[in-house]
Structure 1
Amino acid sequence: MSSPKNAAQAAQNSTALETLARAGYVVLGIVHVVIGLIAISSVASAGSTEADQGGAMARIQQTPWGVALLWVIAVGLFALTIWQIAEALLERDPDAKKKWAHRVKFLGTAVAYIAIAVTAIVYALGGRSDSSQSSQTLSAQLLASAGGVFALSLVGLIVAGIGIAFIVRGCTRAFTKHLALPGGTTKKGIVAFGIVGYVAKGVAVAVTGVLFVVAAVTHDPQAAGGLDAALDSLAALPFGAAILWLVGAGLVLYGIFCFARARYARM
């Protein structure tokens, strides 16, 4: 075995890392519950949702022991990142195409966890982060470069594809393959929360991708945005308040599902 694979195997044999990775699912759940609650509360206020990772971290920062919890979130998510990278390195599917598809999925998930962890650190240190502003800045930079429209469209299609993958994973219950679930009512409840949670998150992520594509087609970087902008776009649709409430509730259920995942994930 190569040195990276040895390191990956050692990581997965570490009880301490597994414990931290499971804690990572708990803190990931906390973040999604807070995002979902922000989205739900914005229905009544009829204002901008601010329902993204930055908004969640800001709410957590304002609670007692908030800064300490932000550091716990960062540590847990970094542990999950290491675990995902190890999974990618140790992927053994005999089908070469599936092997690389799984590796891309694990590495993509690792990048997402790193992004949330970095946001937690920024707020723990007293800083601020705006996902929509970051998305608009990236869009403007890409549009100003050669082939920028194509590049930005590609980013949007990839993000939208990730959202669709979440929806498919929820509808097909594919996520259950990675869980060692108990029987009876507990299993049914966890699976139900997972289905609704994956679909809700998939819708939000897919809309984020669509915003990037719209920014590329219209040559308007201001059209792009993060998760908060995606939820604002849903709120602007006919029956938008109901849609936003349902997606927000779904994100809360996804967070609760993450709590169960911390206990029952196959690690």
Structure 2
Amino acid sequence: MNSATASSGPSSRQVSSVWEKVARTGYAVSGLIHVLLGVTIARIGLGSGGEADQSAALGQIAAAPFGAAVLWIAVVAFVGLGAWQIADALASHHESSDRAKAVGKAVLYLSLAFTAGSLVIGAGGSSGGSQDDKAQGLAAGLMGAPAGRILVGVVGLGILAGGAYHVYKGAKKKFLEDLQATPGGELGRGVRLLGTIGYIAKGVALAVVGVLFVLAAATADPAQAQGIDGAVETLLGAPGGPVVVVLVGIGFAAFGVYSFARARYAKM
């Protein structure tokens, strides 16, 4: 969404300005989650335990001093960012593919708002299960429908395509199109490097998640479907797995730091 979509009245511009600031805060909170997630993934690669998903990262925030306050900020910020993406999807100047991506992002940010809200209301209790549990539940639900295995396979291929797009976006620096400007000098080079590493690492993890969903469809076994944590465990068991997992963790943390820059420079 851009300023052309807002009313020309002063109060409407003020509301739009506040909404934009809230939405930008959503990118910053997402950055914090990715940094925590990246550290956890890297520690798993180094032999430590941990659960590598966004719910667990939010749980870490909840357990920290002033964690409840930070989670409330996360709820408001993610709702604001999700609503901004919905408004962006409804903007008439967008193509259908851009609208679909905006809707997908809106669903993601609103689900994060729900997870953060569940944690803070439950005083750090359950947020509805891990991403692996949710992935298996989704696969099991789809398999209960007519042509369920095909549906699970389609979901897997969709996630795999999303992972490939993340790798492409990082390698070709397409993420710069999401920014209204980039800082100059060393800071600008740092933003480009962090974005490249971050998008490629996320793409690798998402691609593995997609493959696991396809495997679940091929074997008619919903337990094969996994989230990011399951993808990390799969990578860990591959040749050279610990090194790859550490690199993916570094990439997730890099994406988090890039997200802090995106909060400042994103096209809105």
SS at match of 2:114: helix
Q: Does 1:86 align with 2:65?
A: no
Contact 2:166 2:203 in 1 (8 A): yes
Contact 1:78 1:117 in 2 (8 A): yes
Tell me, in whole angstroms, the C-alpha distance in 2 between the residues paired with 1:50 and 1:18: 32
Q: Does 1:100 align with 2:96?
A: yes
SS at match of 2:46: helix
In the other structure, the counterpart of 1:266 is 267
In the other structure, the counterpart of 2:6 is 9
The alignment covers a number of residue pairs equal to 257
Q: 1:45 aligns with which of 47, 52, 64?
A: 47
Q: Percent identity?
A: 39
Question: How much is the aligned-residue C-alpha RMSD, in angstroms?
Answer: 2.0
Tell me, in whole angstroms, the C-alpha distance in 2 between the residues paired with 1:9 and 1:164: 35
Contact 1:8 1:89 in 2 (8 A): no
How far did residue 109 of structure 1 move?
Answer: 1.0
Contact 1:9 1:86 in 2 (8 A): no
In the other structure, the counterpart of 1:21 is 23
Counterparts in 2 of 1:120-131, with a 5 A limit? Answer: 120-126=116-122, 127-128=125-126, 129-131=129-131
> What is the letter of the counterpart of residue 61 of structure 2?
I
In terms of mean alpha carbon deviation, does 190-199 or 172-181 score higher?
A: 172-181
Tell me, in whole angstroms, the C-alpha distance in 2 between the residues paired with 1:44 and 1:172: 30
How far did residue 6 of structure 1 move?
Answer: 11
User: Are residues 185 and 67 of structure 1, via their aligned partners in 2, closer, same or farther at CA, if it must alter by over 3 Å?
Assistant: same
SS at match of 1:202: helix
Tell me, in whole angstroms, the C-alpha distance in 2 between the residues paired with 1:137 and 1:225: 10
Give ranges in structure 1 of 5+ residues lacking alignment.
94-98
TM-score (norm 1): 0.91
TM-score (norm 2): 0.91
User: Are residues 27 and 145 of structure 1, via their aligned partners in 2, closer, same or farther at CA, if it must alter by over 3 Å?
Assistant: same
In the other structure, the counterpart of 1:189 is 190
Tell me, in whole angstroms, the C-alpha distance in 1 between the residues paired with 2:66 and 2:97: 40
In the other structure, the counterpart of 2:61 is 60
In the other structure, the counterpart of 1:113 is 109
Tell me, in whole angstroms, the C-alpha distance in 1 between the residues paired with 2:102 and 2:93: 13
Give ranges in structure 2 of 5+ residues lacking alignment.
none
How far did residue 118 of structure 1 move?
Answer: 1.4
How far did residue 8 of structure 1 move?
Answer: 5.9
Tell me, in whole angstroms, the C-alpha distance in 2 between the residues paired with 1:65 and 1:34: 16
In the other structure, the counterpart of 1:150 is 150
In the other structure, the counterpart of 2:241 is 240
